[in-house]
Amino acid sequence: MILSVPMRIYFEGNTDPLAKRVLVFSLSLATWWLTEKFVRPSSGAFIQSLRSIFGGSAFIGHLFSQSLPVDLVCFFLLCLLCYLKILPPPQFNLNLNKIFKEGSLWALGISAITIPLALYLGFHLGFSINWQSILGNIISNTYEEMTYRVFLFSVSAYVFKNTGAGIIMSAILFAAVHTQYPLLLQIDVGLAAIFFSLAYLRTNSLFTALWAHQLSDMILDSILLH
């Protein structure tokens, strides 16, 4: 279903009582945090065994991402909240021209910020294309976009009745889970999350956020070597 009004108007015009909005937000955030804290670490061996069974390639590594248990739980809860008509369903406007243009601009923007920062942190420029990783990213990035650009953004915008608050909250959470990066790159990841959310909101299409995420990953993974 494509919303008949922009998402900003949808969330700002929500008439649910504050107590209900706080309860939905609290339960959603607690579910995300508990799965990140306990389920994700404990499922590591199982995820690794799946990778081994299917070959352990870069593509398989993305297909069976370490975040998969978290993403599946969040997707289930998102479906439940959409079914109960508490949250709007993910938006998939198919204006391909707008998706490509808008997504490309946000991808190039975050790439332009990330490259000098990465060079400062010790990366160097090169060129190496890993097609298995690129194809796998399509899957793992879809997981992340559903969790952060739809689920956590939506419940945050819902409780605050403000899409700006949803963008900031989901960006903080997105940066927080990327603990494999130093602090400056974690901040950069949070900025990328803001860019991807804006791409989603401006076009009313998750495909735009996914394209921005995918293109920026392709650019950065191909030219930044460590």
pTM of the predicted structure, to 2 decimals = 0.95
pLDDT value, residue 169: 97
Per-residue pLDDT of the chain (226 residues; tens, 9 = 90+): 678 778 989 999 999 999 999 999 999 999 999 999 999 999 988 999 989 998 889 999 999 999 999 999 999 999 999 999 999 999 999 999 999 999 999 999 999 999 999 999 999 999 999 899 999 999 999 999 999 999 999 999 999 999 999 999 999 999 999 998 999 999 999 999 999 999 999 999 999 999 999 999 999 999 998 7
d(CA 74, CA 20): 19
pLDDT value, residue 86: 95
d(CA 185, CA 167): 18
Residue 125 and residue 225 in contact, taking contact as beta carbons nearer than 8 Å: yes
pLDDT value, residue 226: 76
Asked if residue 8 is part of any domain, the answer here is: no
Write out the residue range of the structural domain in which residue 130 sits.
16-225
Asked if residue 200 is part of any domain, the answer here is: yes
Report the domain count for the chain.
1
Asked if residue 137 is part of any domain, the answer here is: yes
pLDDT value, residue 1: 66
Q: What is the DSSP string of 24-86?
A: HHHHHHHHHHHIIIIIHHHTHHHHHHHHHHTT--HHHHHHT-TTHHHHHHHHHHHHHHHHTTS
Asked if residue 46 is part of any domain, the answer here is: yes
d(CA 72, CA 150): 13
Asked if residue 187 is part of any domain, the answer here is: yes
Asked if residue 7 is part of any domain, the answer here is: no
pLDDT value, residue 44: 85
Asked if residue 193 is part of any domain, the answer here is: yes
Asked if residue 185 is part of any domain, the answer here is: yes
